[in-house]
Structure 1
Amino acid sequence: MKYLSEYRDPELAKKYLEEIKNTVSRPWSIMEVCGGQTHSLVKNGIIEMLPDKITMIHGPGCPVCVTPLNLIDKAIHLATEKEAILCSFGDMLRVPGSQKSLLQAKAEGADVRILYSPLEAVKIAEENPEKEVVFFAVGFETTAPANALSVVHADRRNVKNYSILASHVLVPPAIKAVMDDKESQIDGFLAAGHVCTIMGNTEYHPLSTKYKVPIVVTGFEPLDVLQGILMVIRQLEQSKSEVENQYARIVREEGNLDAQKVINEVFEVRNQMWRGIGEIPDSGYAVRDKYAGYDAIRKFDIFIDEAPENPLCISGQIMKGIKKPYECSQFGKTCKPENPLGAPMVSSEGACAAYYHFSGMVEI
């Protein structure tokens, strides 16, 4: 595809790398928030090509990875004990709960289905009026409009056997939590371009001002990431802390107002648990009372005791950027994609999976 090849030009990549090398004069630590950016960095060998003075720190930007263990247990409970048709994006199926994964529940006979859109789940509910259909609505602000729209669509069509199990997390509060962490040593951020496509850039200006860090909204192709790093380095070298938009071909300052409208129609902001990190204030979406009948938690009145995380898994430290995947004693040994101890080894956006597949650091 010509469109993609334009952002993967090796000669232009060399020029960006050379300019980064000529610009940086002292050590800097930059966190890429999104797991998609982490995969681009690792898969394309960018980390190894950057000057030694630049340290890339992988952030908590993988919604599958930070979905609470207890919520996965609830999804499994709905599929097995309530015998609901449980629909989900594919990444969620292999994420381990406290006892099993959704994939294991499916193998044991539960009706668990992989879908590409929550609107498909509404259609399944219409076609199966005798069954409850639940969509496991996981994601950052990026997937929130489609999940919200499915609720509006079901309500308008009077589909009462449809609901969502919502686990939406928000990026700006996560950046704030990272900067407030005493162990954090982040000098600048690459913000997630797809999130800003929906929400715009306005929420990042107060963060940049308060913490005196540059935040560059960045895409996911190799040249996007390299240009984003260069823009952050230029600011740092000039003692600036501003919000810049590298992803201007897609992102607008105000974002997508229609998408924001449907989000605000169905969801309200709340405190949210992040797996491996803990509760972050005002960092998630909850279904509004107006649509309580489409909120699986309230509809089924689910209560499941919190279970402890696997003590061998250091995913929380990895997602806060404190440690790298290869610093985990279980990485590539007891923890592999086919038998993950934690979500970062499962998801297509997980840092551990990126290093396992592309870094060459796994012992064969």
Structure 2
Amino acid sequence: MNELRDKGVTRALVREIENRVRALGRAVRLMEVCGTHTMTIHRFGLKPLLDEAGVQMVSGPGCPVCITPNEIHEACLDLLAGRENLILASFGDMTRVPTRKGSLQTAVPAAFSRLKLVYSPEESVEIARAEPGKEIVFFGVGFETTIPAIALTVERARNEALENYSVLTALWLIPPALRWILDAGETTVNGFLYPGHVSAIIGTRAYRFIAEDYNVPGAVAGFEPNDILLGICAVLDQLREGKPRVHLEYGRAVNPDGNLRALDAMDRILAPADACWRGLGRIPRSGLELREPYRRFDARVKHGLRIEPGSGDLPGCRCGEVLRGLISPPQCGLFARKCRPDAPFGPCMVSFEGACYIHHKYGRDKHLEK
């Protein structure tokens, strides 16, 4: 793995990228879909090197904390503050997202209710087992990477007759969002770096429509700096050849067919549904909901939640534009002023995978040491 961080290899790959761009005769604009790719690009100082080489990288909607709209967060707030004897289990980042009603961290729970941070979906089931007298609601948020684990908690609760357990799902599918970005035509995208973790579940075939229907190349890349540069080289080669496809750079972790057991669990327990994304709006079949045999474990059904779109971001927050690739975080007037990691005003400043957090953490991009 050392060669994937070797600076000599990095410099050689950057020169290869510069040569490829020169051969194309124009600069290119690529979207990295995954927040972890964004982190690597900035942490290792790749951004200025790529800018100088003629490759502009723009962040996409690859952070589940960021794209979950405020109305779902507010439904959790209402549950925690309005229902007695309830435990709301949530991943930590989700508790810091600010809304018009505050955040889960600032909420005052109803009598005998509390917020519980968990590190895995399985922990929420363990809580339901340990506290049969309390109602447990798991705020289940994620892309294809974590969806199978969330789905399996519901199956386990059903098999164990844990009737005090339910999940408020916020489950998102990456390929429909990429279709939305291309259809919207708001921003130029000459190619994609597809997310490695998501692709480990869904494989590479899920992105074929982007090459076949939109003539846009892409590569599934790993998360080391030279992984990313190799992925970019592959995209540039496709542009030069005029033959878009889905290149697999991350073959050490991704099977073209995906993880069949994980996909089977998703299909068995969940069904596609229209979903509203922060900044992107309603996208057909871009989310998942529990199938009929599992519906009694759906917190929306069990607790009569009516989640209507339209809560919107806080005034001045431009996270929606960041997620669509229209602006970079420093172009938001609140960035590093009213919105900081210690006091976030928008979700993109909350998550470690959020573009605003990453830009703030690493400040001005610096070149690799000479």
TM-score normalised to the size of structure 1? 0.95
CA contact (8 A) 1:43 1:359 kept: no
State how 1:153-302 maps to structure 2 within 5 Å.
Answer: 153-302=156-305
State how 1:1-364 maps to structure 2 within 5 Å.
Answer: 3=1, 5-25=2-22, 26-50=26-50, 51-83=52-84, 84-105=86-107, 111-303=114-306, 306-360=310-364
RMSD across aligned C-alpha pairs, in angstroms? 1.6
Deviation larger for 135-144 or 9-18: 9-18
Offset of residue 6 of structure 1: 4.2
Report the AA paired with residue 321 of structure 1. G
Q: Distance in 2 between matches of 1:46 and 1:61?
A: 19
Offset of residue 105 of structure 1: 1.8
Q: Give CA-to-partner distance per residue, 1:279-326, whole Å, 9 cap, x none.
A: 111100111111011100111001356423223011111111010001
CA contact (8 A) 1:171 1:283 kept: yes
Q: Distance in 2 between matches of 1:222 and 1:359?
A: 18
Unaligned runs of 5+ in 1: none
Structure 1 residue ranges (4+ consecutive) displaced by more than 6 angstroms after TM superposition: 106-109
Matched residue SS, 1:24:
helix
Q: Distance in 1 between matches of 2:173 and 2:144?
A: 6
Aligned length: 358
Q: Distance in 2 between matches of 1:233 and 1:98?
A: 44
Q: Distance in 2 between matches of 1:46 and 1:360?
A: 12
Q: Distance in 1 between matches of 2:229 and 2:270?
A: 35
Matched residue SS, 1:123:
helix
Q: Distance in 2 between matches of 1:301 and 1:70?
A: 15
Report the AA paired with residue 208 of structure 1. A
Offset of residue 359 of structure 1: 2.5
Unaligned runs of 5+ in 2: 366-370
Q: Give CA-to-partner distance per residue, 1:123-173, whole Å, 9 cap, x none.
A: 111111111111111010110010011011111111110111100111110
Deviation larger for 13-22 or 144-153: 13-22
Q: Distance in 2 between matches of 1:7 and 1:152?
A: 39
Matched residue SS, 1:103:
coil
Residue 368 of structure 2: aligned partner? none
Matched residue SS, 2:358:
helix
Q: Distance in 2 between matches of 1:57 and 1:108?
A: 42
Q: Distance in 2 between matches of 1:160 and 1:71?
A: 23
Q: Distance in 2 between matches of 1:287 and 1:106?
A: 29
CA contact (8 A) 1:106 1:112 kept: no
Q: Distance in 1 between matches of 2:109 and 2:238?
A: 52
The percent identity for this pair of structures is: 39
TM-score normalised to the size of structure 2? 0.93
Change in CA separation of 1:245 and 1:77 when aligned onto 2, cut-off 3 Å: same
